[in-house]
Structure 1
Amino acid sequence: MSALDTNSDTGALTAEVKGRSLWQDARTRFFRNKAAVAGLVIFALVLLFAVFGGLFAQWSNEEIDWSMLGNFERIGGPSLENGHYFGVDETGRDIYARTVQGTRISLMIGVIGALVSVVVGTAYGAAAGYIGGRTDDVMMRLVDVLMSIPYMFVLILLLVVFGRSMFMLFVGIGLISWLDMARIVRGQTLSIKHKEFVEAAIATGVSTPAIIARHIVPNLLGVVIVYATLLVPQMIIFESFISFLGLGVQEPATSWGALINSGTDHLRTAPWKLYFPLAFFVVTLFALFFIGDGLRDALDPKDR
């Protein structure tokens, strides 16, 4: 056997022995999931529509086409000729432009609400689980008390008392929905707080906040990421339901829930008012659920 063959065999064995990291393995498994990849592509297209869709609109979301007033149910349907790609509503406003705006607001509320929930819930649950003892008991009993209060009742009460605004939607949705995240993170923290790397950090004198930030939270990222992807559609559903009741996003701004609520009033005579925002709402939710399922399967240690 020549030296060249020996070197090639050695290189092949080295390549075979060399392992892959957790994230590399998870990425490979995720992209093998066709449903998850399809969901990722669809969600990316929805994001592109939200960001760049306004560039293709010939009408603004507040601009009124006076020629459509009074007869929009007969001539206000979708048309490429007059620039109303999704038709107009009863006030002559372009549904396409309003769907773009509604997509931006609904996704923004979903992502920011989920982000607030993840940050607050992760910090709270990791601290409770790691510190343990009486502190853990008090912190988790507080979570139990808050979870016993109907979520929608609290959100509606906040909007009624403090006003219907985007800020209160963020506060109400984000700062209440962290409770489930806190319980999940706390349970995961209890399972890793006695691992060797944590005990080594304690032995070297690392402070409690540093251990939580550097050793506990990074090892919870898999669970946090999966739950966050499932939390975004939940936030969108909550916001859409509140807007459907008329307590969420207020005119002239709009969201998917507000557009769907408005579209149900003219379902028989002008169905395009409902179909287009509803289609974006349903497709986006399915895409996010597929992404969440794909991440859950990719990061599940039992399937490796």
Structure 2
Amino acid sequence: MLPNKATVESVADAMAVAEVQGRSLWADARKRFLANKAALVSLFLLIGVALFSIFGNLIAQYAPDYVDFTLMGANAYKGVPSIETGHYFGTDTSGRDLFARTVMGTRISLLVGLIGALVAVIVGTLYGATAGYFGGRTDGIMMRIVDVLMSIPFMFVLILMLVIFGRSISMLFLGIGLISWLDMARIARGQTLTIKNKEFVEMAHAIGVHPIKIILRHIVPNLLGIVIVYATLLVPTMIIFESFISFLGLGVQEPATSLGALINEGSSTMQRGFYWQIGFPIFFFVITIFAFFFVGDGLRDALDPKDR
């Protein structure tokens, strides 16, 4: 006896429900992210920029600090972008190959963004989760400290640190990361206030698990979704801060460089027609910033439980 149409439809519906129920939240988020074309294209652009910063020196014919004395000052207009001469992005007014320096600048800017965001996320997550879990007076004191620190101008503190302790890449990493954890602490604390009332946390507390282990093993893993999203949105913010500091001349020092420093150098020669000296650094800066924002927006949509 052949099954009727209603039976076939009910079986198909049951199979669809079973398929949805059998897929984990991370698998569902991955599927939703891959369906976001803007985020997917931005992810490939970020991979391309990262590969350029890592392996770009393999195709650069000059070192970042190599000086061609025949292409300095008034003769800099001869150093236009050219494949024949090996100066793919041209040269700057000091006669240095702009391609090699753009590779170095992109690498340093990405490192500042990634390491600064990593420090901010780790410190902010642990601090906020601790405050939210213990609550009461501990939460009040810890969050008032955050409020006080947030009232201090971020740029003023960073510039002061660079002036007092010296202008170095390591100090730039440390300064940006340790000051930028405040927003992450507030986000982690708010999420922890909800998670700590869940059954699995109450059960761990009832059987005598140490509070530190509860925070590290039960609360922090459940914050990974919001932490990942915030980290992807924090990286471009770190890159913008670093570029602004370097634009002021307080960031990365010669012979090292960053995208902000290259843009600062190129802006001073724009009126003389040396468009390539600012065009290529701005291109990589804009592509990196927008790609991170689109990836972060895609992750936010994929990991938001309200949209499932």
Q: Does the alignment pair 1:84 with 2:87?
A: yes
Report SS of the residue matched to 2:94: coil
Structure 1 position 91, deviation (Å): 1.0
Mapped pair 1:209 → 2:215: no
Q: How much has 1:122 moved relative to structure 2?
A: 0.3
Q: Per-residue deviation at 1:65?
A: 1.4
The residue type equivalent to 2:86 in the other structure is G
**Partners of 2:211 and 2:73 in 1: how far apart?**
67
Counterpart CA distance in 1 for 2:77 and 2:183 is 48
Distance 1:242 1:146 in 2: 20
The residue aligned with 2:285 is 281
Which 4+ residue blocks in structure 1 deviate beyond 2 angstroms?
9-16, 69-74
Question: Which residue of 2 is the match for residue 44 of structure 1?
Answer: 47
Count, aligned residues: 299
CA 204–14 in structure 1, closer or farther in 2 if over 3 Å, else same: farther
In 2: Cα distance, 1:170 partner to 1:48 partner: 22
Contact 1:122 1:185 in 2 (8 A): yes
Indicate yes or no: 2:230 matched with 1:227: yes
Deviations 1:14-65 (A, max 9, x none): 6751421110000000011111001101101000100111100011101111
- Share of identical aligned residues, percent? 66
What CA distance in whole angstroms lies between the structure 2 residues aligned with 1:190 and 1:212? Answer: 12
Which letter maps to 1:288? F
> In the TM superposition, what whole-angstrom CA distance separates every residue of 1:73-129 from its partner, at most 9, and x where no partner exists?
321110111100000011110000000000010000100000000000000000000
Once the 2 structures are TM-superposed, how far is the Cα of residue 13 of structure 1 from its aligned partner? 5.3
Deviation, structure 1 residue 271: 1.2
**Aligned twin of 1:301:** 305
Kindly provide the amino acid, as one letter, of the partner of residue 194 in structure 1: N
Equivalent position SS for 1:175: helix
Shifted more, 68-77 versus 13-22: the winner is: 13-22
Shift of residue 69 of structure 1? 2.4
The residue that corresponds to 1:30 in the other structure is 33
> What pairs up with 1:113-152 in 2 under 5 angstroms?
113-152=116-155
Query: Aligned letter for 1:153?
Result: F
Partner of 1:17: 18
**Native 8 Å contact 1:72 1:92 kept in 2:** no
Q: Which amino acid aligns with 1:286?
A: F
Letter of the aligned partner of 2:258 in structure 1? Answer: S
Deviation string 1:237-285 (CA, Å, 9 cap, x unpaired) is 0000000000000000000000000000001221111000010000100
Does 1:75 find its partner at 2:78?
yes
Cα distance in 2, alignment partners of residues 74 and 47 from structure 1: 30
Contact 2:76 2:95 in 1 (8 A): no
Inter-partner Cα distance in structure 1 for 2:53 and 2:75: 26
Equivalent residue, structure 1, for 2:7: none
Query: Hey, what's the Cα distance between the residues in 1 that align with 2:296 and 2:57?
Result: 28
Which residue is equivalent to 2:169? 166
- Evaluate the alpha carbon distance shift between residue 143 and residue 70 of structure 1 in structure 2; reply closer, same or farther with a 3 A threshold: closer
1:74 & 1:220 partners in 2: Cα distance?
A: 53
1:12 positional shift: 9.8
Kindly indicate whether residue 66 of structure 2 is the aligned counterpart of residue 63 of structure 1. Answer: yes
Aligned equivalents of 2:28, 2:75: Cα separation in 1: 54
TM-score, normalised via structure 2 length: 0.94
Contact kept in structure 2, 1:72 and 1:89, CA below 8 Å: no
Give the superposed CA RMSD.
1.7
SS at match of 2:270: coil
Q: Distance in 2 between matches of 1:197 and 1:72?
A: 71
Report the Cα offset of residue 10 of structure 1.
Answer: 8.4
